[in-house]
Copies of this chain bind each other. A is one copy, B any other.
């Protein structure tokens, strides 16, 4: 076999996923474990890794490329951030070998706005994967999650990005705030209540005020309890979109879990913006893209 396989690993804060890819990037096998870096004791990364991936790496010439928080200070080996603007070549130039010729780790990206730094680890790989999958090399790439990333891409380079704590705010408010008393965070998405929240977020009064409405609407029986969670989600996502002033002329690519990208799509469509959506496949495509041009086929 002249074409080598790639073990693609996404090692995040709370979970660990791996895929065995053939030389064309096709997924041959996948595995997922609740072994995020917070669940690995210091010095225990090699053992966890070998237990899960040694079999896949056995065939001679197989390599592994890891992205995500495993490259952070609290991870396996710290891979210093690559500063924006950064494309495939810049990120590839900062890939760090953990075990030469066998296991490497992808750096995250950093950016700075008015002296305040911003960072991502793992999302840059999804962005490169999304570019490979969609053929787009210009646009706005949005990655919803606990800490959402909004990245601007031009000529295949990530020119800059910003993080939004939207997912974490939703968890804090729905689980730990006064809203938790009336709100059912596990209720299914109610599209009308969600869009009502999106509209409300644009009233110029800000999130600190509007969030209280999710309390009073319940107190005055103006909204059924099962809809409050969707309303709060709409307030938060609407607030995020409001600050980003997305234009219809820009290609928007949403990358993430379908339950989340669906909400952003709804909110964007309410403003007449269309977007493409991608899921986990973007990670594997991104690691393949970073790997394959490094190891050209014979």
Contact = CB atoms under 8 A, between A and B. Distances in A.
A177 B166 contact: no
A238 to B, nearest CB: 11
A211 B118 contact: no
A240 B166 CA distance: 18
A165 B212 contact: yes
Contacts of A178: 147, 165, 168
Interface residues of A, number: 41
B114 A203 contact: yes
Contacts of A173: 172
A86 B177 CA distance: 29
Interface string A159-203: 000111110110011001110000000000000000000001001
Nearest to A216: B117
Nearest to A212: B163
B147 A212 contact: yes
A34 interface: no
A143 to B, nearest CB: 14
Contacts of A205: 113, 162, 243
A16 to B, nearest CB: 19
A105 to B, nearest CB: 18
Given A117-B219, A216-B118, A172 B176 contact: yes
A206 B172 CA distance: 17
28 contacts: A113-B203, A114-B200, A114-B203, A116-B200, A116-B213, A116-B216, A117-B216, A117-B217, A117-B222, A162-B205, A163-B209, A163-B212, A164-B212, A165-B178, A165-B208, A165-B209, A165-B212, A166-B208, A169-B208, A172-B177, A205-B243, A206-B207, A206-B239, A206-B242, A206-B243, A207-B207, A208-B240, A208-B243
Sort A-B residue pairs by CB-CB distance and give the 8 closest, nearest first. Answer: A206-B243, A116-B213, A117-B216, A164-B208, A172-B172, A163-B212, A117-B220, A164-B209
